[in-house]
Chains A and B, each alone.
Chain A
Amino acid sequence: MIKAILIFNNHGKPRLIRFYEYFAEDVQQQIIRETFHLVSKRDDNVCNFLEGGSLIGGSDYKLIYRHYATLYFVFCVDSSESELGILDLIQVFVETLDKCFENVCELDLIFHMDKVHFILQEVVMGGMVLETNMNEIVGQVELQNRMEKSEGGFSAAPARAVSAVKNINLPEMPRNINIGDINIKVPSLSPF
Chain B
Amino acid sequence: MALKIVKGSIDRMFDKNLQDLVRGIRNHKEDEAKYISTCIDEIKQELKQDNIAVKANAVCKLTYLQMLGYDVSWAAFNIVEVMSSSKFTYKRIGYLAASQCFHESTDVIMLTTNQIRKDLSSPNQYDTGVALTGLSCFVTPDLARDLANDIMTLMSHTKPYIRKKAVLIMYKVFLKYPESLRPAFPRLKEKLEDPDPGVQSAAVNVICELARRNPKNYLSLAPLFFKLMTSSTNNWVLIKIIKLFGALTPLEPRLGKKLIEPLTNLIHSTSAMSLLYECVNTVIAVLISLSSGMPNHSASIQVSFSRHAHTFSLKYLGLLAMSKILKTHPKSVQSHKDLILQCLDDKDESIRLRALDLLYGMVSKKNLMEIVKKLMLHVDKAEGTTYRDELLTKIIDICSQSNYQYITNFEWYISILVELTRLEGTRHGHLIASQMLDVAIRVKAIRAFAVAQMATLLDNAHLLTGNTQRNGICEVLYAAAWICGEFSEHLEEPMVTLEAMLRPKVATLPGHIQAVYVQNAAKLFATVLRGHEGVPADSMVAQETSQLLIDRLPLFVQSSNLEVQERASCILQLVKYIQKLQQKDVEVAEEVTALFAGELNPVAPKAQKKVPVPEGLDLDVWINEPPSGSESEDEGRKSKGKAVFAKEESRHTKPRYTEVDEKELAKRREVRKAEQANNPFYIKASPSSQKVYQDGVGVEHIPVVQIDLSVPLKVPGMPMSDQYVKLEEERRERNKADKKKKKDKKKREKGEKGRRRRGDSGPESEEDITPAHMVDIVTEEMPENALPSDDDDKDPNDPHKSICWAPCVNTAGYGVDQPPLYLSPHPSLSLAPHLQVCDIQGNLQDGSQVVVSVIFENKCDSFIKSMEFNVLDSLNSKLQRPDGAGPHDGLIVPFQLPPGISNEARFIFSVQNIVMPQKLKGTLTFIVKTDDSSTHEKLDFKLHFTCTSYLITTPCYSDAYSKLLESGDLKGCSLKLEGVNQPFHHLLARICFHHHFSVVERIDSCASMYSRSIQGHHMCLLVKTADQTVSIDAKCDEPGLLGNVLDEIKLTFSQC
Among A20, A117, A133, A151, contact of B96 (Cβ-Cβ < 8 Å): A117
A132 lies within 8 A of chain B by Cβ? yes
CA distance A125 to B57 in the complex (A): 24
A181 lies within 8 A of chain B by Cβ? no
Closest Cβ–Cβ distance, residue B707 to chain A (whole Å): 42
A154-B89 in contact (CB<8A)? yes
B350-A125 in contact (CB<8A)? no
Find chain B residues with CB under 8 A from A184 CB. none
Among B12, B53, B239, B351, contact of A82 (Cβ-Cβ < 8 Å): B239
A121 lies within 8 A of chain B by Cβ? yes
Q: 1/0 per residue A111-151: CB within 8 Å of B?
A: 11110011001000111111111001000100110011001
B27-A51 in contact (CB<8A)? no
Among A121, A147, A152, A174, contact of B23 (Cβ-Cβ < 8 Å): A174
Residues B283-317 near A (CB distance < 8 A): 311-313, 315-317
A38 (CB) vs chain B CBs: closest residue:
B349
Closest Cβ–Cβ distance, residue A86 to chain B (whole Å): 8
A176 lies within 8 A of chain B by Cβ? no
B171-A128 in contact (CB<8A)? yes
Size range of the chain A interface in the assembly: 35 or more
B786 lies within 8 A of chain A by Cβ? no
A190-B274 in contact (CB<8A)? yes
Name which of B69, B104, B171 has the most chain A CB atoms within 10 A of its CB: B69
Closest Cβ–Cβ distance, residue B151 to chain A (whole Å): 12
Find chain A residues with CB under 8 A from B13 CB. 158-159, 161-162
CA distance A42 to B384 in the complex (A): 14
A22 (CB) vs chain B CBs: closest residue:
B103
Find chain B residues with CB under 8 A from A153 CB. 89
B348 lies within 8 A of chain A by Cβ? yes
A1-B209 in contact (CB<8A)? yes
A80 lies within 8 A of chain B by Cβ? yes
A190-B126 in contact (CB<8A)? no
Among B9, B63, B165, B350, contact of A114 (Cβ-Cβ < 8 Å): B63
B53 (CB) vs chain A CBs: closest residue:
A156
B416 lies within 8 A of chain A by Cβ? no
From A25-33, A68-76, A98-106, the one touching the partner chain is A25-33
Find chain A residues with CB under 8 A from B350 CB. 46-47, 49-51
Find chain B residues with CB under 8 A from A43 CB. 347-348
B17-A84 in contact (CB<8A)? no
Residues B204-261 near A (CB distance < 8 A): 205-206, 208-209, 212, 234-236, 239-240, 243
Residues B1-40 near A (CB distance < 8 A): 9, 12-15, 17-20, 22-23, 26-27
Among B53, B103, B236, B351, contact of A192 (Cβ-Cβ < 8 Å): B236
Find chain B residues with CB under 8 A from A151 CB. 87-89
B164-A131 in contact (CB<8A)? yes
B93-A154 in contact (CB<8A)? yes
Among B63, B209, B274, contact of A128 (Cβ-Cβ < 8 Å): B209
Closest Cβ–Cβ distance, residue A74 to chain B (whole Å): 14
A192-B278 in contact (CB<8A)? no
A88 lies within 8 A of chain B by Cβ? yes
Closest Cβ–Cβ distance, residue A170 to chain B (whole Å): 7
Q: 1/0 per residue B48-89: CB within 8 Å of A?
A: 000001001100100110111111000000000000000111
Q: 1/0 per residue B92-107: CB within 8 Å of A?
A: 1100100010011000
A47-B103 in contact (CB<8A)? no
From B129-137, B392-400, B486-494, B543-551, the one touching the partner chain is B129-137
Find chain B residues with CB under 8 A from A17 CB. 67
A132-B171 in contact (CB<8A)? no
B351-A14 in contact (CB<8A)? no
Among A24, A126, A162, A190, contact of B137 (Cβ-Cβ < 8 Å): A126
Size range of the chain B interface in the assembly: 35 or more
CA distance A22 to B104 in the complex (A): 8
A130-B165 in contact (CB<8A)? yes
Q: 1/0 per residue B160-173: CB within 8 Å of A?
A: 01001100110110
B960 lies within 8 A of chain A by Cβ? no
Find chain B residues with CB under 8 A from A48 CB. 312-313
B96-A118 in contact (CB<8A)? yes
B17-A159 in contact (CB<8A)? yes
A178 lies within 8 A of chain B by Cβ? no
A84-B277 in contact (CB<8A)? yes
B213 (CB) vs chain A CBs: closest residue:
A80
Closest Cβ–Cβ distance, residue A79 to chain B (whole Å): 8
A126-B172 in contact (CB<8A)? yes
Contact A47-B313, Cβ < 8 Å, known A25-B70, A131-B198, A191-B272:
yes
CA distance A146 to B300 in the complex (A): 55
B133-A121 in contact (CB<8A)? yes
Closest Cβ–Cβ distance, residue B256 to chain A (whole Å): 20
B126-A147 in contact (CB<8A)? yes
Find chain B residues with CB under 8 A from A132 CB. 201, 234-236
A166 lies within 8 A of chain B by Cβ? yes
B273 lies within 8 A of chain A by Cβ? yes
CA distance A112 to B202 in the complex (A): 28
A114-B317 in contact (CB<8A)? no
Closest Cβ–Cβ distance, residue B608 to chain A (whole Å): 31
Find chain A residues with CB under 8 A from B104 CB. 22
Find chain B residues with CB under 8 A from A180 CB. none
CA distance A115 to B566 in the complex (A): 71
Closest Cβ–Cβ distance, residue A88 to chain B (whole Å): 5
CA distance A126 to B167 in the complex (A): 12
B312 (CB) vs chain A CBs: closest residue:
A47
B243-A82 in contact (CB<8A)? yes
Q: 1/0 per residue A30-65: CB within 8 Å of B?
A: 000000000000110111111100000000000000
B363 lies within 8 A of chain A by Cβ? no
Contact A88-B96, Cβ < 8 Å, known A43-B347, A80-B212:
no
B353 lies within 8 A of chain A by Cβ? yes
A77 lies within 8 A of chain B by Cβ? no
Contact A46-B273, Cβ < 8 Å, known A80-B209, A113-B64:
no
CA distance A143 to B129 in the complex (A): 12
Among A111, A121, A147, contact of B18 (Cβ-Cβ < 8 Å): A111
B101 (CB) vs chain A CBs: closest residue:
A25
A125-B165 in contact (CB<8A)? yes
B27-A159 in contact (CB<8A)? no
Among B57, B90, B92, B271, contact of A190 (Cβ-Cβ < 8 Å): B271
CA distance A26 to B165 in the complex (A): 31
Find chain B residues with CB under 8 A from A85 CB. 235-236, 239, 274, 278
B275 lies within 8 A of chain A by Cβ? yes
Closest Cβ–Cβ distance, residue B333 to chain A (whole Å): 20
Find chain A residues with CB under 8 A from B273 CB. 84, 188, 190
Among B15, B124, B137, B315, contact of A47 (Cβ-Cβ < 8 Å): B315
Find chain A residues with CB under 8 A from B234 CB. 132-133, 192
Closest Cβ–Cβ distance, residue A29 to chain B (whole Å): 4
Find chain A residues with CB under 8 A from B277 CB. 82-84
B19-A114 in contact (CB<8A)? no
CA distance A162 to B88 in the complex (A): 24
Closest Cβ–Cβ distance, residue A105 to chain B (whole Å): 15
Name B's A-contacting residues (CB within 8 A): 9, 12-15, 17-20, 22-23, 26-27, 53, 56-57, 60, 63-64, 66-71, 87-90, 92-93, 96, 100, 103-104, 124, 126, 132-133, 136-137, 139, 161, 164-165, 168-169, 171-172, 197-198, 201-202, 205-206, 208-209, 212, 234-236, 239-240, 243, 271-275, 277-278, 311-313, 315-317, 347-348, 350-351, 353
A-B contact pairs, 18 of them (CB 8 A): A14-B68, A26-B69, A47-B312, A49-B350, A82-B277, A84-B273, A117-B63, A121-B96, A126-B136, A127-B136, A128-B206, A130-B202, A143-B126, A155-B17, A158-B9, A159-B12, A166-B20, A190-B271
Shortest Cβ-Cβ A-B pairs, 8 listed: A126-B136, A190-B272, A84-B274, A22-B103, A46-B348, A29-B69, A47-B312, A47-B316
Given A18-B100, A20-B137, A88-B272, 19 further pairs, Cβ under 8 A: A14-B68, A46-B312, A46-B347, A49-B350, A84-B313, A111-B18, A111-B23, A125-B168, A128-B205, A130-B165, A133-B197, A133-B234, A147-B124, A147-B126, A151-B89, A154-B56, A154-B57, A154-B89, A190-B273
